[in-house]
Copies of this chain bind each other. A is one copy, B any other.
Amino acid sequence: MHDINVDFFETAEDCPCDILIEGLPGVGLVGKLATEHMIEELGAEKIAEITSIYFPPQVILEDCGVARLPNNELYRYEDKKKKLRVMFLIGDFQSATPEGHYFLTETYLDIAKKFGVKRVYTLGGYGVGHLTDKARVIAAVNDEKLKPEVEKAGAEFTESEPGGGIIGAAGLLLGIGKRMDMEGICIMGETSGYLVDPRSATCVLSVLSKLTGIKVDTTKLQERAVEMEAFVNRVKGAEKTGSEEELNYIG
């Protein structure tokens, strides 16, 4: 076992890709929900599994008691009409150490480069610390020239958001990507930061769809959003005597 193991499946053979879409776990699981939804709706095919000493030292249980190492996974989908070939990156965890983020991100970009990827989309949530009615979508790019098309697709660029930069893979894929001559666009859905947020994921997908031309049916995501909102409203009702602020600590 190396520090980072990439196990390619047979499905990975001879399959160039044009873009990479990343949705690893982060604020409100917005990027993860959005990317997993696309993979499922489009029927993308798994092409690789990545395990690493940089992930937490544990196993994940699935299928009622079957253990596997935590991993990150690559999927692939070819939109024949649009002639667009997409690589997806999802997973259980991001790196457990600061340096690991750098090493893993580089590995992902090395693979992407080898498959021909020219542009990277990273999807995530932008935590604002309070419940919001309508999720704005904000963006960052690794090249000024990418801004017009992103704004046209409905995302905002603001001077001060997110204030602390973009942490983890969603940020580093843009930063290290630039060094490797890949365009990078990060699309962040506004979210409370306290709850898993399928509504915000839907908004992110809407912007991504305009940028890539790939349409996915978001009915299931919207249903999950409705369920989540019903849950929040029940809690709000139950907590009528408390202030609205308290609600922020749910999740």
Contacts and interface: CB of A to CB of B under 8 A. Distances in A.
Interface of A: 1, 51, 53-54, 56-61, 63-70, 95-103, 105-106, 138-144, 147, 157-159, 162, 164-168, 171-172, 174-176, 178-179, 184, 186
Given A57-B101, A66-B143, 11 more contacts: A53-B98, A53-B103, A57-B167, A58-B164, A58-B165, A64-B158, A65-B138, A66-B142, A67-B142, A68-B142, A69-B176
A164 B174 CA distance: 31
Contacts of A147: 65-66
A140 B61 contact: yes
Q: How many subunits of this chain does the assembly comprise?
A: 4
B1 A58 contact: no
Given A66-B143, A186-B67, A57 B157 contact: no
Contacts of A158: 64-65
A66 B183 CA distance: 12
Contacts of A165: 58-61, 67, 70
B98 A66 contact: no
